[in-house]
Chain A
């Protein structure tokens, strides 16, 4: 079974902290994604990566950065956490082609206080 693992299910951080959300996949997938899920807004793409060290901005990249130094790991970084970044964060991975499904982690519910 494909496994996408997010490092934390729940996280509480203080305003201004630098926050790292980690995601690891074990199926040698080329693509990895970070989405943010908010009630009434669905899933919005923050960043995605189609290869090691490659990244593309999604719809809402402001306040976030990413790192992909190894194929299996994709990190989302909140440079200076703010309360409006309180949300559910979902990581996903997929093979290269458009037909292939994306596999998701279980999500990290981040609260910034």
Chain B
């Protein structure tokens, strides 16, 4: 069975600084998708970034980027120029390639941002 591990329950960063959230996963499959979701205090889960396993290029979305290391089964999220609005819980998630499959989530990392 696939598993997702986030080893940092809590992280903190100062405004304008850069922070990296870690995620590792375990799978025997070669084709899959990885996601980072953000859950602010409002509880609304929002997709931050997505990575296809068959793509070697790391995904980027504005200040958010990933470091995808397929052989190491590692998928870290880098947030550059951190803002107060980035404070939230961040979840790493895995999904198999096949249709009709569910997202498997890690336990989450709570990110606090200080001014």
Interface residue? A74 (CB, 8 A): no
Tally A-B pairs: CB < 8 A: 59
Q: Please, which residues of chain A bring their CB within 8 A of the CB of B105?
A: 35, 42-44
Distance between A66 CB and nearest chain B CB, rounded to angstroms: 13
B9 touches A40 (CB 8 A): yes
Closest to A33 in B: B102
* Selected interface stretch from A19-27, A77-85, A92-100: A92-100
Contacts A42-B91, A106-B43 given; does A101 touch B102 at CB 8 Å? no
Chain A, interface size category, equals 20 to 34
Chain B, interface size category, equals 20 to 34
Interface residues in A27-86 (C-beta closer than 8 Å to B) = 30-31, 33, 35, 40-45, 48, 50-51, 56, 58
Closest to B94 in A: A98
Q: Please, which residues of chain B bring their CB within 8 A of the CB of A44?
A: 105
A97, B101: Cα distance in complex, Å: 8
Question: CB within 8 A of A45: which of B100, B102, B108?
Answer: B102
A102, B98: Cα distance in complex, Å: 14
A43, B105: Cα distance in complex, Å: 6
A48 touches B102 (CB 8 A): yes
A104 touches B45 (CB 8 A): yes
B107 touches A98 (CB 8 A): no
Interface residue? A90 (CB, 8 A): yes
| A interface, CB within 8 angstroms of B | 30-31, 33, 35, 40-45, 48, 50-51, 56, 58, 88, 90, 92, 96-99, 101-102, 104, 106-107
Contacts A43-B108, A98-B97, A98-B98 known; 8 new A-B pairs at CB < 8 A: A41-B107, A42-B6, A42-B108, A48-B102, A50-B100, A96-B100, A98-B33, A102-B47
Nearest 6 CB-CB pairs, A to B?
A50-B100, A42-B107, A104-B45, A96-B99, A43-B105, A98-B97
